[in-house]
Amino acid sequence: MKFRAIILSIYFLLPLVPAMAQEDDREAILICYQENKPGFNGGDANSFSKWVNEHKHYPEEAIIAGIEGRVTTQFTITKEGKLINARILRGVHPLLDEEAIRVIESAPQNWKPGERQGEPIDVTYTFPVIFKLSEEDLAYRVLELCRYIPDHVLKPEAKEAMTPEFFHALSEAFDAPVADYMEIGDNEWLWYFVTGNGGSEPVYGVKSVSLTSKDSARAVITVRQSWEGVIDPKENPKEYVVMLKRANGRWLLDDFDGKKAECLAYVRDVREKYASGKYVKYLKSEKDLRQYIPDFKERVEAFYTKYGK
């Protein structure tokens, strides 16, 4: 006799109850079913899902860090109607994993046990707890990411806050040696993304955030300048566009005011000058710059070593 199993998957594990075997030449089908599933607070498993969603707390640290995802948990409803043995099957991040277990274990022990053939039994559930940042939550993440927008320097820790593509474009542009501080090769624009050459400190705000897809978002931020902790009330804030992408469950900075494209174009330009020898010719014709940048060739070689030719 041949056997074929049909598994009915609905977020929890059900006891197996075989159906009656068929005659010799027919396939026997094993149906996975539970006569009476556990109930929560007078309802069913969906009532528990609703309770969890209403009582879970998105950890503030996770919001600021831009962390979201689906935490898969498992627990058992005993034949006495108690929830026990809650654990993580597939986690996302300790902050979200801990909150998933907390909210599940804090639920009222008000379960009606599952039954089979009229007898109460233990039932083990596989249950997802989903954490998804709202657009309002993303505004907090945007403010956190603004801390890593370059101002005079590209902070090393910005690597953890940016997509690899954006950080690489910025890093290569900041590291590219230049010899011409008066013409096209000037890279001073990199130093003052938001403050200008005046010694002020940027103060950020978020005007709007909108999802452009499930894994990307667009934010409009405002920037005002603080001079020794004082903001001119008459100053009109400038607006910039910030692009975000979600990677590995975290929202990261993917562009600021179109700077990614500018950096890529800038690096192409200086690389052409390295290859053509234009920078070297410029140095040979300018005594002051030969003294100011005596190791220019060595710096270019170091740049090639790090980023490739």
Domains of the chain by start residue, with CATH = 37-132 (3.30.1150), 136-307 (3.10.450)
Q: How confident is the model at residue 187 (pLDDT cuts 50, 70, 90)?
A: low
Residue 49 predicted with pLDDT over 70: yes
Residue 270 CA, chain-centre distance (Å), reads 33
Residue 16 predicted with pLDDT over 50: no
Residue 79 predicted with pLDDT over 80: yes
Place of tokens 């992408």: 245
pLDDT of 129-179, one tens digit each?
Answer: 999 988 888 899 999 999 999 888 888 999 999 999 999 999 999 998 887
**Residue 296: which of 194, 200, 178 has the closest Cα?**
178
Mean pLDDT of the chain: 82
Residue 256 tokens, joined: 């600021």
Torsion of CA 148, 151, 155, 158, to 10 degrees: 20
Q: How confident is the model at residue 12 (pLDDT cuts 50, 70, 90)?
A: very low
Q: What are the phi and psi torsion angles at 298 (to 5°)? A: -65, -40
- 53-67, 187-201, 209-223, 240-254: which has the minimum mean pLDDT? 187-201
Place of tokens 């910039």: 240
Residue pair 190/174 in contact (Cβ under 8 Å)? The answer is yes
Is the model more confident about 106 or about 37? 106
| Res 20: pLDDT | 32
Measuring CA to CA, how many Å separate 73 from each of 9, 52, 101, 113, 123?
15, 12, 8, 19, 14
| Res 23: pLDDT | 37
pLDDT of 83-98, one tens digit each?
Answer: 999 999 999 999 999 9
Is the model more confident about 184 or about 256? 256
46, with CB counted inside 10 A (0-12, 13-18, 19+), is exposed
| Res 184: pLDDT | 40
Q: How confident is the model at residue 3 (pLDDT cuts 50, 70, 90)?
A: very low
Q: Is 221 helix (H, G, I), strand (E, B) or coil?
A: strand
* Strands 28-31, 3-6: pairing kind: parallel
**Residue 99: which of 124, 77, 76, 67 has the closest Cα?**
67
**Residue 189: which of 259, 142, 139 has the closest Cα?**
259
- Buried b / exposed e over 261-277, threshold 16 CB at 10 Å, is eebeebbeebbebbeee
Q: Is 60 left (phi over 0), alpha (psi -120 to 50) or beta?
A: alpha
Q: How many residues does the chain have?
A: 309
Report, as an integer, the average pLDDT of 48-63.
93
Is the model more confident about 12 or about 233? 233
